[in-house]
Amino acid sequence: MKKSIEVRFLALGIALLGIAAFFTLHPRGRLFLSPQNLSNLSIELAVTAVLALGMLLVLLPGMIDLSVGSGVGMLGGLAAVLIVKPDFIWPGMPGWPPALALLATLLLAMAIWALMGALISRWRIPAFIITLGGLLIFKGLHWAIIHNATIPVAVGGQENIYSLLTTYYLPEWASYVLGGVVALGIGVSRVRARRLRRAHGLPVDEAQTAFLGTFIGLQALLLLIVVLNLYKGVPLALVILGVVAWATQVITQHTSFGRYLYAIGGNEDAAVLSGINVNAVVICAYVALGAIVAVAGFMQTAYGGYSTTTVGNLMELDAIAACVIGGTSLKGGRGTVLGVLFGALIMATLLNGMTLLAVTPELKTIARGTVLVLAVWMDVWLSHRYGAGGGSR
C-alpha cells in the first residue's frame, strides 16, 4: 500500500514538472514562472483546492457532489447581489453590510447542503441524482438571482471584505512571521508524532529521511513566500487555503468524524455494526462541504470581480478531478489531503498555463477532460498493480 502511494506521488511530481516545463519552454509561455503569474496561479490554486478539499469530505464516505460548481456561482452571486443590488431580492431593501452578506450566504449554503445530505442518507436517494438536480437548480437560481446581469462584488469599484478575498496581499513582514509560525508548527508536530509512534513501537522513517523531507518542504515554503513577495506578497486566498487544508487534515486524520468517513466508504455494513450513525455522519460531511462551497464561491467570484452567468462553470469537475488525480477513490474509503492538494495543483497549473498561452476554450475543455481520464486510468492501473492503496494515513 505504501508503495502505491509513493509511485503515485512520483508520477504526479513528474507530471507536474512536465506540465510546468512545457509551459515555461513554450515561446508564448515565458511569463509562466514570473512572480505575477505565480501569484495568480496561487489564487487560482486556492479556489480549486479549497473546493476539492470539500469534495474529499463527501468522496471519502462514497458519495459525490456534482452541484458544487453551480453552488459556487449561485452563492457568490447571492452575496454580491445582497451587497450591491439588494432590489433584485426585495424591492427597496438597503444594501447589506458585506460581512453580514457573506455570513448569511455561508449559513444558507450549510442549510441547503444539510438538506441534500439528508435526502441522500436518510432517504437513500443516490448522491449522484440529488446533486445532479442541485446542479441544475442552483444554476437556474444563480441566473435568477443576478437577473442574468453582471454584478460586481463591491459598489462602484470600491474595496470591501468580499473583494479583498482575492485582492489582499499580506505585507512582507507578516508573510515571514506567518511562514515562521507555520514552519515551527509543522516541525514541532512532526517531532511529537514521531516520538509518539516510536514510544508505541510503530515504525518511523529514518531520522535523516524524516528531517530531509520536512526540511525540503519548509524550504519550498520559504521559496514560495520569497517569490510571492517579489510581486505583491502572499495572497490572502492562499492563507485561506492553508487554513482549510489544515482544518481538513485535522478533521480527516484526528477526529472520530474523520475516521467514520473512511469507515463508511471502506465498508458501510461494518460501520453500521460498529455503532456509527451513518446518516448523521453523511449529513455533517455535506454541511461542511456546503460551507466550503460558499467560501470557494466568494473567492471565485471575487477573483473575477463580478458575478456573471458563467462563474463556477465546470468547477465540480475540476474538484472531482483534483481528488481523483490525488488518489481519492470514487468508491470511497481512500484519499488524503496532501494528495488532493497535489491534484488541485496539477489542475490549476494546467488551466493557468493554457490561459497564458491563450488556448481556445474548446481546447481547454478537451484538455481538462483528457487529464481527468488519464488520472482515473492511472488510479485503476496503480490499484491493479500494487493493490488497493492509500489508507487514512
Partner 1 sequence: MSGPVPLLHVQHLSKHFAGVAALEHVGFDLRAGEVHALCGENGAGKSTLIKVLSGVWPHGTYAGTVTLAGREVRFRSTADAARAGIAAIHQELALVPDMTVAENIYLGAEPRTWGGTINWNKVYADTEGLLREYGIAVDSGARVGELGVGQQQLVEIVKALSKRSRILLLDEPTAALTDSDVETLLGIVQHLRSRGITCVYISHKLGEVFRVADRITVLRDGRSIVTVASAGSTRQDVIRHMVGREITDFFPRVRSAPGPVLMELSGVSVADPRSGRMVLRDVSCNIRAGEVLGIGGLMGAGRTELLLHLFGAFGRRVAGTVTLAGVPYQPHTPADAMARGVALVSEDRKRYGLVLDQSVSFNLSLASLRQVARAGLINDAAEYQRNQAMVTTLGVKTAGMDSVVAALSGGNQQKVVLGKTLLCAPGVVLLDEPTRGIDVGAKVEVYELVNRLTAAGKAVVLVSSEMPELLGMSDRIMMLSAGRVGGCFTHAEATPERLLTAAMAFHRGFPKDTPHEEKH
Write out the H or E segment, with its range, that includes residue 145: helix 127-145
Q: Rule CB under 8 A: is residue 123 a binding residue for partner 1?
A: no
* 393 is an interface residue for partner 1 by CB under 8 A: yes
Out of 36, 274, 310, 370, name the contact with partner 1 by CB under 8 A: 274
Interacting residue with partner 1 among 72, 79, 276, 311 (CB under 8 A): 276
Pick between residue 92 and residue 203 the one whose CB is nearest to partner 1. 203
Instruction: Output the smallest distance, CB 140 to partner 1, in A.
Output: 34
Residues ≥6 apart with Cβ < 8 Å to 147: 85, 88
Choose, by CB under 8 A, the member of 27, 201, 206, 207 that binds partner 1.
Answer: 201
Scanning 26-97, the segments in alpha helix (DSSP H) are 35-59, 68-84
Query: Residue 247 and residue 285: Cα distance in Å, rounded?
Result: 13
When the beta carbons of 190 and 232 are compared against partner 1, the nearer one is 190
Q: Could you say whether residue 271 binds partner 1 (CB under 8 A)?
A: yes
What does DSSP assign to residue 3? H
Residues 250-269 that bind partner 1 (CB under 8 A): 250, 254-257, 259, 262-263, 266-267, 269
- The alpha carbon torsion through 354, 355, 358, 361 (nearest 10 deg) reads 80
Q: How far is the CB of 272 from partner 1 (least distance, A)?
A: 6
Task: Enter the C-alpha cell of residue 190.
Answer: 512532526
The Cα-based distances of 69 to 132, 289, 317 in angstroms read 11, 12, 8
Q: Determine if 1 is a binding residue for partner 1 (CB under 8 A).
A: yes
Q: Which is nearer to partner 1, 174 or 270 (CB)?
A: 270
How far is residue 120's CA from residue 126's CA, in Å, rounded to a whole number? 6
- In one-letter notation, the amino acid at residue 249 is Q
Build a one-symbol-per-residue string for 321-350: x at contacts with partner 1 by CB under 8 A, - elsewhere: ------------xx----------------
Backbone phi, psi, residue 391, to 5°: -85, -150
Residues found near partner 1 in the complex (CB under 8 A)? 1, 193, 196-197, 199-203, 250, 254-257, 259, 262-263, 266-267, 269-277, 333-334, 388, 390-393
